[in-house]
Structure 1
Amino acid sequence: MKTCRSVGASSQMNGQHDWDSRRKRKIADITQALSVSPVDVAALRRMAISEGGLLTDEIRCQVWPRLLNVPSQVLDQEPETVERENNKDYNQVLLDVQRSLRRFPPGMPDEQREGLQEELIDIILRVLKRNPQLHYYQGYHDIVVTFLLVLGERLATALVEKLSTHHLRDFMDPTMDNTKHILNYLMPIIERVNPEVHDFMQQAEVGTVFALSWLITWFGHVLSDFRHVVRLYDFFLACHPLMPIYFAAVIPQDLPYETLISRAGDLFVQFPPSELAKEASSHESVAASTFKDFDLASTQQRPDSVLRRRRKQKQAALESSAATSVVAVARPSAARRLVRLAVMGLTVALGAAALAVVNTALEWAPKLDLFP
């Protein structure tokens, strides 16, 4: 028995050592991606998706604005004073925020929590005032409070506004039509993952409303551990706006948290929204269409070293022999074949999902020369 315990303890120590090493490498990679000019947004996406996400709130303060492509001048602006009187949303926002006690860290002093709740109300009302086309929905505060706790009021205001006009846009229409449309993707995904579960749900006529709170709060309302919430937000901010519905499809599986995230990413690779659109509905969601902005920005914000390398490769191709030129011409198709293999789900590693996310311009953005 002593030997067994010793082996187990040694294995745990080795596992911890490996994770510590990976963590240090990841922090170094994130620092490098942030330090180049322009910032390597594609690398930051990969870091946010892969195991452990962005690791700390300090890192999230630097990376989340990059993932949402929020300009630095916007981040530096001090939030304006909010007038609550005669605001049509104030009473409902106040009621929801007052019911949000469980979203704050246990043991937080009442005075501190109450101060944060006041800031939470101000952020929501401020975003709605700036964007009259947006409509408040119950559950929105669950997303906003996460950004407040991680970023503070100033940064949270800027990022929540960008998020609300893009990723969350479908939920903020005057009706729930677009929200229902996104929920319609759930059953086709489940059918491909687990036909037996799909058939059972169809026979039971449970519908998809059970996943509504998951979707519109990015699971913030239903997850009790704040570490899990921010880890999931890392993932969602780095991905296509419909990724939360893919994550909802893997929830019935009793798997470790990181494995659920990995599975959701792989499902997105294997069954992209374009393949499910006909089964879900004929029109594209607003959030999905606006994702092109982020995707195009990411492809343009590659480090200048990449651009220099491309120029050198093109110059070398011009100066090479005819045989070398043939190889150079073949290279793009080889790279595209690699993407195609990933999309077909021939690899189950999270790297496949990361590859698809980083190269999303192939599907959603205008045709770009992504490969040298």
Structure 2
Amino acid sequence: MGSSTASTASDRPSEGSESGIDTHSNPVDSKKVESILEACRWRDIGQLRALAESPGGLLSDNLREQAWPVLLGLSPERFEKDQDSSVDWKDLPRHRDEDQVQLDVDRAFVYYPQHLTEADLEKQKEELSSLIIEVLRRYPFLCYFQGYHDICQVFLLILPGPLRVPAVARLSALRIRDFMLPSLAPAVAQLRLIPDILRAADPDLWRHLSDTEPFFALSGTLTMYAHDITTLGEIARLFDVLLAREPVFGVYVFARIVMNRRAELFDTPRDEPEMLHSILSKLPQPLDLDRLVADAAALFDAHPPESLRAWRTISRASVLKTARSADTCALQSVEDGRIFFERQVRELRWLERRDELLNYLWRHRRHMRLLALAMFFGIAAVWIRRTPGLLSYTSLRASLWWTR
């Protein structure tokens, strides 16, 4: 298939590792394991969502190997439809962003996995580079962004080799497509939802942060929190629910993180937005993920995205609207993602041209006013010449008014 080579057993965390869990000593966990396996067997995304949101998420890497592809809509039939495996990716044209990929891969695997030899670390980096570049070469419309390697690193460590490329490709085209466009504008549009959520859920906190732009959430939302969470167990558990829920759920997670820091934020004056930004741009440690997921789900239910004013500014081709549920996303193909991608690109280009025109008119507004005035008098002169009776009537009325 030309996809990245599978890691050996020694390269990947075992069931008892930081991202695994011993499910044999706890009958409750054993029952949950059976429920997860049953949901995977029947490809029941609704049930997997409930299990992913429940304490502990999907429990272990072995279970995630089966559940994540289901959540992403990956099946043998879908694999064949999404990817032309007859062509070796190394024979495909070089992607324009490959130099940046290598720079980021060189900085990967800082926190996990631990206790790797230098040789094993280099092997992991080679596999990560191959995974990213294969996805980009097979789907060259996608644009790489810094932090994408953090997401791919998690998939590399959780999924077996043959599943990595198709899973990451579907994630890229159907769930994080807004971040892989040639502009950051759609990503910024997502951030604008956070103040609206705060205004609806906690007006006092919203007012306190009203002078602070929501760019503090860019790193977290852009990388599905993989850049900021430093243990594989925690990020894998959070990925469980981010893959099981609609893409907009990640925004609610950050809004809930902000709300959970309410007391800390009120200790910093409102007129110090730089300090507030600094606080909010770093996730609190440790994160109580089970509580965070439950609170974010409750926040979503209380204030769904359609109730937010900024939702109207989100493109209809955005993943937030084209993948309004994990079930919808699972039924789409990577080709569907490409079509939505091209629609968003056309929208972005139109908006750029509109903004350029408005900026030009603003810069030359004095000349524009003079031009408009000259055009007005020119049109009036032509009109008067064509209707001389109107000029006589107007002159008479003016004379009568003047002599009163």
Same fold (TM over 0.5): yes
Contact 1:183 1:208 in 2 (8 A): yes
Which residue is 1:271 aligned to?
Answer: 303
Using the TM superposition, name which of 75-84 and 281-290 deviates more.
75-84
2:249 maps to: 243
Give the drift of 1:54: 0.5
Deviations 1:90-143 (A, max 9, x none): 210000111123143121222112111111111111111122221111011111
Shift of 1:170: 0.4
Offset at residue 230 of structure 1 (A): 0.5
Within-5 A mapping of 1:174-253: 174-202=182-210, 205-252=211-258, 253=260
Aligned-residue sequence identity (percent) comes to 30
The 8 Å contact of residues 218 and 244 in structure 1, kept in 2 or not, is answered as yes
Is 1:168 the counterpart of 2:172? The answer is no
1:164–1:181 distance in 2 versus 1, CA, 3 Å? same
Matched residue of 2:239: which SS? Answer: helix
Secondary structure class of the residue paired with 2:137: helix
Matched, 1:127 2:135: yes
1:88 deviation in Å? 2.1
Distance 1:129 1:257, change over 3 A: same
SS at match of 1:82: helix
User: Aligned partners of 1:274, 1:237: CA distance in 2, in Å?
Assistant: 21
Correspondence list, 1:60-75, <5 A: 60-73=64-77
Cα distance per residue 1:204-223 (max 9 Å; x no partner) = x2201111000111111011
Name the CA shift for 1:130/1:69 in 2 (closer, same or farther; >3 Å). Answer: same
Aligned pairs, number: 281
- Structure 1 letter corresponding to 2:88: E
Mark the CA change 1:244 to 1:285 in structure 2 (over 3 Å): closer, same or farther. farther
Cα separation, 2, equivalents of 1:79 and 1:262: 44
Matched residue of 1:102: which SS? coil
Separation of aligned partners in 1, 2:314 and 2:57: 34
The 5 Å alignment of 1:1-372 reads 20-36=26-42, 39-73=43-77, 80-82=88-90, 86-202=94-210, 205-252=211-258, 253=260, 256-278=288-310, 281=313, 283-284=315-316, 286-291=318-323, 294-296=326-328
- Give the AA of the match of 2:142: L
SS in 2 for 1:115: helix
Q: Secondary structure at the match of 1:198?
A: helix
Unaligned stretches of 5+ residues in structure 2? 1-21, 262-286, 332-404
| Range that drifts further, 171-180 or 107-116 | 107-116
- Once residues 83 and 201 of structure 1 are traced to their aligned partners in structure 2, the CA distance between those partners, rounded to angstroms, is 51
Cα distance per residue 1:297-325 (max 9 Å; x no partner): 779xxxxxxxxxxxxxxxxxxxxxxxxxx
| Structure 2 Cα separation of the partners of residues 268 and 293 of structure 1 | 13
Q: d(CA) in 2 for partners of 1:225 and 1:137?
A: 22
**TM (normalized to structure 1)?**
0.69
- Partners in 1 of 2:324 and 2:292 — Cα distance? 26
1:139-196 CA distances to partner (integer Å, 9 max, x unpaired)?
A: 1111111000101332111100000001100001101111111111011112223222
- Structure 1 residues 57 and 197: CA distance shift in structure 2, 3 A: same
> Contact 1:68–1:162 at 8 Å: present in 2 too?
yes
Counterpart Cα distance in 2 of 1:232 and 1:24: 21
Asked if structure 2 preserves the Cα contact closer than 8 Å seen for 1:185 and 1:276, the reply is yes
Amino acid at match of 2:71: L
Question: What letter is aligned with 1:246?
Answer: Y
Please provide the CA RMSD for this pair: 2.8
TM-score where L is the length of structure 2:
0.64
Q: Which amino acid aligns with 1:55?
A: L
Distance 1:282 1:235, change over 3 A: closer
Name structure 1 gaps, 5 residues minimum. Answer: 1-15, 300-372
AA at the equivalent of 2:147 = G
Give, in angstroms, the shift of residue 85 of structure 1.
8.3
